[in-house]
A and B are shown apart, each in its own frame.
Chain A
């Protein structure tokens, strides 16, 4: 009788320590969906580039239109992913009796966004200087660093996703020109795999 109470106390201590430092309501489904959006985006980008170079739908009036198209695709994929993550995570947090805008979320976003913003600015600089080939490796590496940094403030297994993205980015440096494929793997396939793991864990508990 007594013994059970004490075990419950220890479990309660662990639960509160976790809950007060980590935001654990990340939705696995939103990871899967983000991965699918990324794969669709990569496919559309691939088609755009193929049309441009091989089929010769070269738009002589506006030669910049391909860059614009690619940027638009990237923008839509990012916006859709963030919106999906926001709504599904909010839903999950509400179900668990947590508000979305609390200390743990703020801490998580802060630590996640610092490497991400640094990587974003670096990418813009590289674009300006014409180093297009380095954009994919750099974005993957910095995204991985952001995830690694965030892993202390959310589901701790997200660090494995971060490490995987970093390694993929470092490999991608050796294959300049194939950035789109690495993006599809890093932002598409990896998200689907990690999202599925989180999703399965959610259903187990």
Chain B
């Protein structure tokens, strides 16, 4: 029972997990790169980004390159800690079941 409690509900989705994974190992990632990486539609990606932003796990910076906007995403300190805790929990569950 205690093993499950560290599982973070916010990350319990493939796309959110993917967004966080990419942000953890990159300084920042832009929208189109995320879209290609995860093979999702604009709307789908945007809604999951919103969920992560709402939880304060990621920060968003908007820049103008010429006339185009370039939106970049970074993981926040809170997000980093939450993600590490989540991955630890996943690993513990897997190791526990193996035994």
B18 touches A16 (CB 8 A): yes
Question: Smallest Cβ distance from A13 to chain B, in angstroms?
Answer: 5
Let me know if A10 is at the binding interface, CB within 8 A: yes
Q: Please name all residues of chain B whose beta carbon is closer than 8 Å to the beta carbon of A99 when the two chains form the complex.
A: 36
Interface of A with B (CB < 8 Å)? 2-3, 6-7, 9-10, 12-14, 16-17, 19-21, 97-99, 102-103
Please report B residues at the A interface, Cβ cutoff 8 Å.
14, 17-18, 21-22, 24-26, 29, 33, 36-39, 87, 90-91, 93-94, 97
A20 and B94 form a contact (CB under 8 A) = no
Interface contact A20-B26, CB-CB below 8 Å: yes
Q: B36 to A3, Cβ gap below 8 A?
A: no
Cα distance, A20 to B29, chains bound together (Å): 9
Q: In the complex, what residues of B have CB within 8 A of residue A16's CB?
A: 17-18, 21-22, 37-38
Docked-complex contact B37 and A20, CB < 8 angstroms:
yes
Pairs A–B under 8 Å by Cβ, sample size 29 = A3-B97, A6-B93, A7-B94, A9-B14, A9-B17, A9-B90, A10-B87, A10-B90, A10-B91, A12-B17, A12-B21, A13-B21, A14-B21, A16-B17, A16-B18, A16-B21, A17-B21, A17-B24, A17-B25, A20-B21, A20-B22, A20-B29, A21-B25, A21-B26, A97-B39, A98-B36, A99-B36, A102-B33, A102-B36
Min distance, Cβ A120 to any Cβ of chain B, angstroms? 29
**How far is A7 from B98 in the complex, measured between Cα atoms in Å?**
11
Q: Which residues of A contact B33 (CB under 8 A)?
A: 20, 102-103
Minimum C-beta distance from B16 to chain A (A): 11
Contact A10 to B94, CB < 8 A, known contacts A20-B37, A99-B36: yes
